[in-house]
């Protein structure tokens, strides 16, 4: 008989399924896959496929260890600031084929270092803020968007790595220079055309017109002032001439007897 207070190994009762429960507690918990999406994992790499699932916004329950995220062919119209900031391991983000109209300076916050490909093609983007994509080191696809070619867009593209296979299909849907509407944007920039220069020249012309207007006003006032003074002086002189002359009286002392 085993000593009091001690039990032999054979007398220990292990609950049915106990090792399995312990194993579950030891495994790291993973965020659930977004509803309607698929999250296959291969060799520790997690991919999130949400293509053509009718999404109207970016899911909030994307696994934090996702490396690939496909949100293409949906109905997403806007992306909240910081929507992807918790996805520090993300390498590829596909947002093509949606209805995205605008992107903000903080839309892709948190993805600056690791992201390798960002697909924004086939959307409704018209304007891109200067700092919206400048911090990304990824290749960016912007083709088939109704872009408005202006100085802000040109500044946003400076230093940006455009996907070489689609860069030539980026066109000016509208432009501050009417002759470039419908023309490839990259070809225009390579030819030395500067939308910022157009903006500056327009500003310079406006300043010159304004300065000329003020100068003309000053000249007009000076001419009016001089003429008015001349007219007043003439009238005063005519008034003096119209006064009757007064004879000079003789000294009474000299006229005394």
Q: Are residues 172 and 214 in the same domain?
A: no
Q: Are 122 and 100 in contact (CB under 8 A)?
A: no
3-class DSSP state of 95: coil
Q: Which of 159, 179, 194 corresponds to the end of one domain? A: 194
Q: How far apart are CA 211 and CA 250, in angstroms?
A: 66
On the CB side of 184, how many CA atoms lie within 13 Å of its CA?
A: 8
Residues 6+ apart with CB under 8 A from 69: 47, 48, 50, 62, 84, 87, 90, 92, 93, 94
Residue 144 lies in a domain: yes
Q: What is the pLDDT of residue 28?
A: 44
Residue 31 lies in a domain: no
Q: How far apart are CA 119 and CA 117, in angstroms?
A: 6
Q: Are residues 125 and 75 in the same domain?
A: yes
Q: Which of 73-82, 87-96, 110-119 has the lowest mean pLDDT?
A: 110-119
Q: How far apart are CA 21 and CA 257, in angstroms?
A: 154
Q: Please give the structure tokens belonging to residue 181.
A: 């509407």
Q: What is the pLDDT of residue 92?
A: 97
pLDDT in tens, 18-69: 544 444 344 445 568 999 999 999 888 999 999 999 999 999 999 999 999 9
pLDDT in tens, 201-245: 444 545 666 666 766 777 877 777 777 777 777 776 766 667 666
pLDDT in tens, 144-177: 999 999 999 999 998 899 999 999 999 999 999 9
Q: Are residues 46 and 142 in the same domain?
A: yes
Q: Are residues 228 and 185 in the same domain?
A: no
Q: What is the pLDDT of residue 166?
A: 94
Radius of gyration of the chain (CA): 41
Q: What is the pLDDT of residue 10?
A: 46
Q: Are residues 47 and 142 in the same domain?
A: yes
Q: What is the pLDDT of residue 21?
A: 43
Residue 22 lies in a domain: no
Q: Are residues 155 and 218 in the same domain?
A: no
- Specify which residues 45 forms β-bridges with: 42
Q: Are residues 89 and 205 in the same domain?
A: no
Q: Please give the structure tokens belonging to residue 24.
A: 């579950």
Residue 7 lies in a domain: no
Q: How far apart are CA 125 and CA 55, in angstroms?
A: 18
Q: What is the pLDDT of residue 247?
A: 57
Instruction: Please report which confidence band the pLDDT of residue 197 belongs to, taking 50, 70 and 90 as the band edges.
Output: confident
Q: Are residues 159 and 221 in the same domain?
A: no
Angle at Cα 149 formed by Cα 144 and Cα 85, nearest 5°?
Answer: 65
Q: What is the pLDDT of residue 141?
A: 97
Domain range for 170 is 41-194
Question: Could you tell me which residue, 235 or 188, shows the higher pLDDT?
Answer: 188
pTM of the model: 0.67
The tally of domains found in the chain comes to: 2
Q: Are residues 76 and 184 in the same domain?
A: yes
DSSP E strands, the chain:
41-42, 45-49, 66-70, 92-94, 117-119, 139-141, 147-149, 161-162, 172-175
Residues 6+ apart with CB under 8 A from 140: 118, 120, 133, 160, 161, 162, 163
Residue 79 lies in a domain: yes
Q: Are residues 51 and 142 in the same domain?
A: yes
Instruction: Please report which confidence band the pLDDT of residue 9 belongs to, taking 50, 70 and 90 as the band edges.
Output: very low
Q: How far apart are CA 29 and CA 82, in angstroms?
A: 23
- Indicate whether 195 pLDDT > 80: yes
Q: What is the pLDDT of residue 207?
A: 61
- Indicate whether 5 pLDDT > 80: no
pLDDT in tens, 107-153: 999 897 899 999 999 999 999 988 888 888 999 999 999 999 999 99
Q: Are residues 163 and 52 in the same domain?
A: yes
The domain spanning residue 139 has which CATH number? 3.80.10.10
Residue 63 lies in a domain: yes
Q: Which of 170, 194, 218 corresponds to the end of one domain? A: 194
Q: How far apart are CA 97 and CA 76, in angstroms?
A: 9
3-class DSSP state of 220: helix
Q: Are residues 201 and 190 in the same domain?
A: no
């Amino acid at each position: 008989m085993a000593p009091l207070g001690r039990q032999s190994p054979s007398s220990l009762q292990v609950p049915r399924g106990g090792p399995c429960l312990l194993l579950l507690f030891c495994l790291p918990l993973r965020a659930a896959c977004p509803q309607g999406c698929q999250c296959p994992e291969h060799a520790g790499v997690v991919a999130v496929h949400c293509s053509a699932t009718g999404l109207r916004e970016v899911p909030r329950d994307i696994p934090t260890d996702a490396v690939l995220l496909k949100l293409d062919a949906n109905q997403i119209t806007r992306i909240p600031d910081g929507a992807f900031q918790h996805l520090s391991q993300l390498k590829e983000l596909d947002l093509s084929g949606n209805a995205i109209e605008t992107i903000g300076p903080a839309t892709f916050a948190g993805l600056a270092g690791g992201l390798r490909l960002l697909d924004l093609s086939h959307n409704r983007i018209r304007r891109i803020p200067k700092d919206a994509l400048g911090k990304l080191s990824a290749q960016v696809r912007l083709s088939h968007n109704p872009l408005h070619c202006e100085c802000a867009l040109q500044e946003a593209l400076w230093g940006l790595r455009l996907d070489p296979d689609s860069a030539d299909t980026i066109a000016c849907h509208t432009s501050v220079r009417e002759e470039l509407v419908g023309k490839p944007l990259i070809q225009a920039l390579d030819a030395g055309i500067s939308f910022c220069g157009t903006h500056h020249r327009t500003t310079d012309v406006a300043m010159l017109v304004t300065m000329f207007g003020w100068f003309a006003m000053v000249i007009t006032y000076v001419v009016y002032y001089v003429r008015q003074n001349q007219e007043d002086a003439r009238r005063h002189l005519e008034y003096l001439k119209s006064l009757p002359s007064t004879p000079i009286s003789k000294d009474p002392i000299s006229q005394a007897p």
